[in-house]
Every structure is written in structure tokens, then in C-alpha cells.
Chains A and B, each alone.
Chain A
Amino acid sequence: DVVMTQSPLSLPVTLGQPASFSCRSSQSLVHSDGNTYLNWFHQRPGQSPRRLIYMVSNRDPGVPDRFSGSGSGTDFTLKISRVEAEDVGIYYCMQGTHWPLTFGGGTKVEIK
């Protein structure tokens, strides 16, 4: 199985400031079709996950443009340009290139 490792585990952030999270995979996420199936999700307490980013850098409909994804191969990053109060929660990366699909352990974001 592909192991997804996220860092940091916890990230205290200041409202209005940027934030950045890392996700690394144990093997390349480049699919044989040339695409890289790396997704980012946000989960608030008691809520279902919400996908923010698919295929590394594509924002899902309705996702604010302060969220951006980047990376390639085995190293990926999610950035928030200016953190807002609603951004608290846990962020998970998930790879969809290799079966079984696997999630990272998550990065918990809280306001300082």
C-alpha cells in the first residue's frame, strides 16, 4: 500500500496569515495515464470530509481561491493564502493513483 505521510500533525495559525501543509507518498503518484491523482480534503468536527483539491492543483467548485495545491511525484503541498476562522479542522491528503486508495493521517489546524 502507498503510505501517505502528512506534516505537521498540528498547525496553530493566525487569522489572515498564510498556512502550508505537506503530504508525501511512499511511491510516485504519477498514474500510467500521465495524471497524478492526489486530493486534499477538509473535515470540520462532526462533519463529512469536503474535497478541496483534486489532481494536485485543481480546486473543486465553490472552494475559495485562497486554497491552492501544488507538487509532483511524491511531494505535495496545500497552501492557504490567508487563513479564515472557517478553515479550522483537519486536512487530509488522499492518493487515488494506486489501489487501495490511501489517506494521510491528517494535519489539524487551529487558530492561535
Chain B
Amino acid sequence: HVQLQESGPGLVKPSGTLSLTCAVSGGSINSKKWWGWVRQPPGKGLEWIGEIHHSGSTNYNPSLKRRVTILVDKSKNQFSLNLRHVTAADTAVYYCSREYFFWGQGTLVTVSS
């Protein structure tokens, strides 16, 4: 049974970089699956951020593409999200997922000075 766990700072300053990691257990990041990030601003709906395949191929939401990087770290069985130049509009619960079936519990990231 695959489990995902997000980790990272809960508070990021405006114009800074949001960096999150998703640790995968009960399965290998090397499996031929897509590993994605989805976010949810407080009280709002779900927004797809992007995804990465075990091969390294990525797809990003064009609305965030210039600011987003998703990487896989096979040695640690995890993948990561970097979102640069953040503003208050990036405040959200961030979820990691394997093919949108297995999900992490989510982590709230607040952008504030």
C-alpha cells in the first residue's frame, strides 16, 4: 500500500521559493507512474500544479509553468516541488499524489511576511 507524505516549511516570505518534498513509502518512485502535485487555497477548489514521470518527463500547468519545477530523487524515493517568486495567492494546502489515486495528507503553506 503506497503512502505519500509531504514535508516542508509552513511559512514562506513573499518573493521567496516554496519548496516541498513528497516521501514515498510502500512503493518505488521508479515504478512507471506519474507523480503529481495539486493545491487547494483555503476554502476553494483544487488546482493541478504539475506532474513528473519516473523517466523524468514533466507536465506543468501553464499558469505556473515559469515558476514551477518538479524533480524526482530516486535515491531517496521522493519527489519535490519548487515554486519560485511566491505571493499571497500561492497560500494553499499542497498535496502530492501518485496518479491521483494515492494522496498525501496535504500540507498548508502560507505566504506571508
Contact = CB atoms under 8 A, between A and B. Distances in A.
Interface of A: 1, 39, 41, 43, 48-51, 54, 60, 92, 94, 96, 99-106
Query: What's the dominant secondary structure at chain B's contact region?
Result: loop
Given A48-B105, A103-B48, 15 more contacts: A39-B100, A41-B46, A48-B103, A48-B106, A49-B95, A49-B100, A92-B45, A100-B61, A100-B62, A101-B61, A102-B48, A103-B45, A103-B46, A104-B45, A106-B45
Interface string B53-66: 00000011111000
Most chain A beta-carbon neighbours within 10 Å: one of B48, B95, B106 = B48
Contacts of A105: 45
A89 B105 CA distance: 16
Interface in B4-58: 38, 45-48, 51
A65 B78 CA distance: 34
Contacts of B38: 49
Contact of B47 (A39, A51, A103): A103
Given A103-B45, A103-B46, A103-B48, A51 B101 contact: yes
Contact of B100 (A1, A43, A96): A96
A101 to B, nearest CB: 4
Given A49-B95, A100-B62, A60 B101 contact: yes
Nearest to B103: A48
Nearest to B51: A101
Contacts of A101: 48, 51, 61
Nearest to A54: B101
A21 to B, nearest CB: 14
